[in-house]
Amino acid sequence: MRIRAFLHGDLAPLTELTIETFRPFYEDSFRPLVGEVVFAHQHGDWRDDYRKQVAELHAPERHAYVAVAETEDGIAGYVAWTVDPARRNGSVTHLAVSAEHRRHQVGTALCEHTFEQMRSLGAEVVEIGTGGDPFHAPARALYEKLGCTPLPVTVYYREL
């Protein structure tokens, strides 16, 4: 596996990987949990939201970066992050690994690569957020394995 910087030609495959990775959360977890009305208002256009978000992830002029993990089979995953040089903080904003490459240390390698890049840009602290639901359990396990400290947060939704 090789980790490299984002290239313009990565946009379409990374967008599709993001949609494929998070479809089970939105459709199989979040939608049934909160119901159709809340789902429609909060994340009803989640696919289009990702199409817009992923296109804006790599913007070095805004201290926003993307790294891509490649194998001989193609893209295995990616990580997006930002650095706030004034606060010396980094933030991982997106991490997606293709289904066939999960549990093969791709997420670990991407995070470790990102942490090193953040350090080289002056960051001393990193923030990574994820959900507390069963879908996000592997992400929580990864971040804790990497030495991150969880901060419990609860978000409530209700149809009015």
pLDDT at 102: 95
Structure tokens of 135?
A: 């879908």
Look at strands 125-128 and 74-84 and give their pairing: unpaired
Rounded Cα–Cα distance for residues 64 and 153 (Å): 25
Classify the C-alpha dihedral 52-55-57-62 as positive or negative.
negative
Q: Is residue 152 part of a domain?
A: no
- What integer pLDDT is reported at residue 99 of this predicted model? 95
Contact of 66 with 57, CB cutoff 8 Å: yes
Domains held by the chain: number: 1
Task: Flag whether 154 is in a domain.
Answer: no
Residue 135: inside a domain, yes or no? Answer: yes
Q: What is the CATH number of the domain that holds 55?
A: 3.40.630.30
The C-alpha atoms of residue 149 and residue 102 are separated, in whole angstroms, by: 22
What value does the mean pLDDT take over residues 123-146?
95
**In-domain check, residue 156:** no
Q: Is residue 158 assigned to a domain?
A: no
Residues 45-72: tens digit of each pLDDT: 999 999 999 999 999 999 999 999 999 9
84-101 pLDDT, tens per residue?
999 999 999 999 999 999
Domain that holds residue 17: 2-145
Domain membership of residue 22 (yes or no) is yes
* Phi-psi group of 90: left, alpha or beta (phi > 0 → left; psi -120 to 50 → alpha; rest → beta): beta
In this prediction, residue 153 carries a pLDDT of 87
Residue 99 lies in a domain: yes
> Has residue 150 been placed in a domain?
no
